[in-house]
Structure 1
Amino acid sequence: MALILPVKGIYPAIGTASFLADNATIVGDVQLGAYCSVWFNAVVRGDVNSIRIGEYTNIQDGAVIHCTYKTAPTLIGNRVNVGHNALVHGCSIHDSVLVGMGAIVMDHAVVESFSIIAAGAVVLEGTHCEGGYIYAGVPARKVKAISAAQRKLLEELPDRYVMYSSWFSE
């Protein structure tokens, strides 16, 4: 069973039909929408500020979602894919985004809808990532517009994670 703990009397709120891996950790001021999944060794730590995660969003293995005390809550939209070992910290991720494996998105950054943050990219503090583009590198820079196939992947991937999570309830 996932580790779900209150912080200063505030308990996480977990949405309907969400999957939490046995060793996932969710603490404090966290609201997780319906049909989300938080995978193995992932941490969603709302101890120093709030974390709001929309519906059909998946937080993959080893990812860390955190925020900054009094200055930077974390907002993650609907149908977002946070890749394995990614770090999302004190920023805003809009709907239908892929944060690639090992990527970092820092405080006060904004990632607009239908964007891809490439694996290993570092989105620096305060960066604004325009929707419809791929951002890659250290620091992350706009590389090119997403293709039709990539947009389709952004639309389909959250549903795949709902399917994957159903395998653990059989």
Structure 2
Amino acid sequence: MSGPLFPFEGKTPVVDPTAWVAPTAAVIGDVTLGPGANVWYNCVLRGDTDRIVVGARSNIQDGTIVHVTAGRLPTLIGEDVTIGHAAIIHACTLHDRAFIGMGATVLDGAVVEEGGVLAAGSVLPPGKRVGRMELWMGNPAKLVQVLTEERRAGFDRTAPSYVALAQRHRNSL
């Protein structure tokens, strides 16, 4: 375990020993990080008024903010999820293998189903649902296409590469 972890009102982050948190990130309160999960520089995961769960091998890249809606909506992030640099993830659910592009925003009650992709810079409005293997983009985000397994395979290479890169950072720092 590494990086700054902060308790909030008696709840302390739970971080799997194989997870990695960059030293300039802030993980606060009711947050659980699964095996191999990695949280990068200048991220904030603030589980102060509800919980945040990050599944195994998921990566939350530099400058991302993850928050919840007070006592109503947690943020649940599945396994092998990629969240690109400077994204905003707020009180939503990202199922296994979801891919959120750089600078994208996912708002309250929204869901990205398994293998779904939200393109860089896109905004997924409250309560919207990206279906399995769907690519959405725009502001507000709209369905662009359903991805083939071949096209989706390129996105699947990101999570394992970030697990390996996190280990290199852990060893180097």
TM-score, normalised by the number of residues in structure 1: 0.96
The code of the aligned residue for 1:8 comes to E
Aligned to 1:80: 81
Q: 1:129-168 maps to which residues of 2 (within 5 A)?
A: 129-168=130-169
Q: Using the alignment, how far apart are the partners of 1:80 and 1:53 within structure 2?
A: 9
Q: Using the alignment, how far apart are the partners of 1:15 and 1:156 within structure 2?
A: 22
Q: 1:1-170 maps to which residues of 2 (within 5 A)?
A: 2-168=3-169, 169-170=171-172
Q: Using the alignment, how far apart are the partners of 1:150 and 1:88 within structure 2?
A: 24
After TM superposition, what 4+ stretches of structure 1 lie above 3 angstroms from structure 2?
A: 147-150
After superposition, give the CA deviation of every residue in 1:17-72 in whole Å (9 maximum; x if it has no partner): 11111101100000110001100001111011100111000000000110010111
Q: Using the alignment, how far apart are the partners of 2:59 and 2:118 within structure 1?
A: 15
The code of the aligned residue for 2:56 comes to E
After superposition, give the CA deviation of every residue in 1:75-125 in whole Å (9 maximum; x if it has no partner): 000000010000000001100011000000000011101111000000000
Q: Using the alignment, how far apart are the partners of 2:72 and 2:19 within structure 1?
A: 28
Q: Using the alignment, how far apart are the partners of 2:105 and 2:113 within structure 1?
A: 15
Q: Using the alignment, how far apart are the partners of 1:32 and 1:150 within structure 2?
A: 29
Q: Using the alignment, how far apart are the partners of 2:109 and 2:16 within structure 1?
A: 26
CA RMSD between the two structures: 1.1
- SS of the residue corresponding to residue 49 of structure 1 reads strand
TM-score, normalised by the number of residues in structure 2: 0.95
Q: Using the alignment, how far apart are the partners of 1:135 and 1:121 within structure 2?
A: 8
> Is the Cα contact below 8 Å between 2:3 and 2:20 reproduced in 1?
no
CA displacement at 1:155 relative to structure 2: 2.5
Unaligned runs of at least 5 residues, structure 2: none
Q: Using the alignment, how far apart are the partners of 2:14 and 2:149 within structure 1?
A: 35
CA displacement at 1:152 relative to structure 2: 1.1
Q: Using the alignment, how far apart are the partners of 1:148 and 1:108 within structure 2?
A: 27
CA displacement at 1:154 relative to structure 2: 3.0
After superposition, give the CA deviation of every residue in 1:135-169 in whole Å (9 maximum; x if it has no partner): 00000001001233432123221110011112121
- SS of the residue corresponding to residue 89 of structure 2 reads strand
